Amino acid sequence: MDYLFDFPIHPIAVHFVIALSIFAAALDIWASFKSDAAIAQFAKLTTCFVAIAAVITIATGWFDHETWHATSQHHHDDASVIGLHMKLGIALAILFCGLAILRYRIKGLASKLYLLLILTGVTGITFQAYLGGELVYSEGIGVRATEEHRAEDKRPEDKRTEENRAEETLHNGSDHEHSHDTENHH
């Protein structure tokens, strides 16, 4: 596999957007309960970091996807898990960039609509993380050993060796029969 750093970089980035989005929502909910302006300010800043993390996550995901696509024997269509993961990821990054702008426009505590939107975003991120896990742990995308096994399955010389082995077995079998025949003849 030919990654930029010889390993997938997306799995490093994903944790930030997942953890920070939950943290930003929790801070705003906490601030609303306590009517605490200082925590609300902290929530605003955290939401900005979520937007930045989401853009970095998209970029790294895109990069790993392109590398996997170029080097893998497998191809996928839009309805596949990776297709859904890509589209949902882009939609979520747009949503969180919009939420960061919206949050800065709201003075003080977050509105109920904003809280509903960020909770929807967090639910989306959770589902997105589940899809990402499916890609790695069920489909083996980005897992070096899996790619090597796939390549081995497909390598023409391996197939040829297998064919040769099968031929040899056949040949030895007929030789064996032949020697039996000769022995019987004697």
Contact window for ligand HEM (CB under 6 A) among 12-20, 42-50, 70-78, 108-116? 12-20
Three-state SS string across the chain, please?
A: CCCCCCCCCHHHHHHHHHHHHHHHHHHHHHHHHHCCHHHHHHHHHHHHHHHHHHHHHHHHHHHHHHHHHHHCCCCCCCCCHHHHHHHHHHHHHHHHHHHHHHHHHCCCCCCHHHHHHHHHHHHHHHHHHHHHHHHHHHCCCCCHHHHHHHHHHHCHHHHHHHHHHHHHHHHHHHHHHHHHHHHHHC
Report the site for ligand HEM in 26-85 (rule: CB under 6 A): 54, 57-58, 61-62, 64-65, 68, 85
Nearest distance, CB of residue 87 and ligand HEM, angstroms: 8
- In the region spanning residues 146 to 185, those forming contacts with ligand HEM, defined by CB under 6 A, are none
- Per CB under 6 A, the segment of 14-22, 154-162, 163-171, 173-181 that binds ligand HEM is 14-22
By the rule CB under 6 A, 25 interacts with ligand HEM: no
What does the per-residue mask of binding to ligand HEM show for 82-101, with x meaning CB under 6 A? ---xx--xx-xx--------
Binding site for ligand HEM (CB under 6 A): 8, 10-11, 14, 17-18, 54, 57-58, 61-62, 64-65, 68, 85-86, 89-90, 92-93, 125, 128-129, 132-133, 135-136, 141-142
